[in-house]
């Protein structure tokens, strides 16, 4: 973080000894050490809370992906959470999913007898 060598620390110590005085220097050093300890503790707590938030967000994303894979019908769900039907209901009220209706839907279409297309 800070690049302080022994020579810089010696200069800071001598200036502190001159400015504060030898009588109050131990109390100042104790106060500085306690303040640095408090700042480090607060930084560690902040980092831990931030990491927890990131981990919770990642877990929530993984949980959504897992639920999507486990229950693919939830992807097709309508706005009320009801599964959307694969085949829309027929207008004539008949069931679209019965085998007879499915066969009629797959019946070949006869070629048109329109002379303009020939």
pLDDT in tens, 69-93: 888 765 555 555 555 555 555 566 5
Q: Does the residue 84 lie in any domain?
A: no
Q: Does the residue 57 lie in any domain?
A: yes
Find the helix or strand (DSSP H, E) in which 70 lies. helix 25-70
Percent of residues, the chain, with pLDDT higher than 70 = 58
Q: Chain centroid to CA 55: how far? A: 8
Q: Does the residue 90 lie in any domain?
A: no
Q: Does the residue 60 lie in any domain?
A: yes
Give the integer Cα–Cα distance in Å for 118 and 48.
Answer: 76
Q: Does the residue 74 lie in any domain?
A: no
pLDDT at 63 over 60: yes
Q: Does the residue 109 lie in any domain?
A: no
The DSSP 8-state label assigned to residue 71 in this structure reads -
- The whole-number pLDDT of residue 13 equals 87
- The whole-number pLDDT of residue 102 equals 52
Give the integer Cα–Cα distance in Å for 95 and 60.
Answer: 40
Among 94, 102, 96, 1, which Cα is nearest to 43's? 1
Token representation of residue 82: 């009801």
Domain that holds residue 53: 30-64
């Amino acid at each position: 973080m800070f690049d302080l060598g022994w020579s810089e620390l010696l200069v800071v110590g001598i200036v502190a000894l001159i400015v504060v005085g030898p009588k109050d220097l131990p109390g100042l050093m104790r106060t500085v050490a306690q303040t640095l300890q408090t700042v480090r503790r607060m930084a560690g707590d902040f980092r831990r809370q931030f990491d927890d938030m990131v981990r919770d967000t990642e877990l929530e994303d993984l949980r959504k992906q897992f639920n999507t894979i486990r229950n693919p019908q939830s992807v097709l769900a309508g706005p009320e959470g009801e599964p959307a039907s694969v085949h829309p209901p027929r207008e004539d009220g008949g069931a679209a999913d019965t085998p007879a209706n499915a066969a009629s839907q797959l019946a070949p279409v006869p070629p048109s007898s329109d002379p303009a297309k020939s």
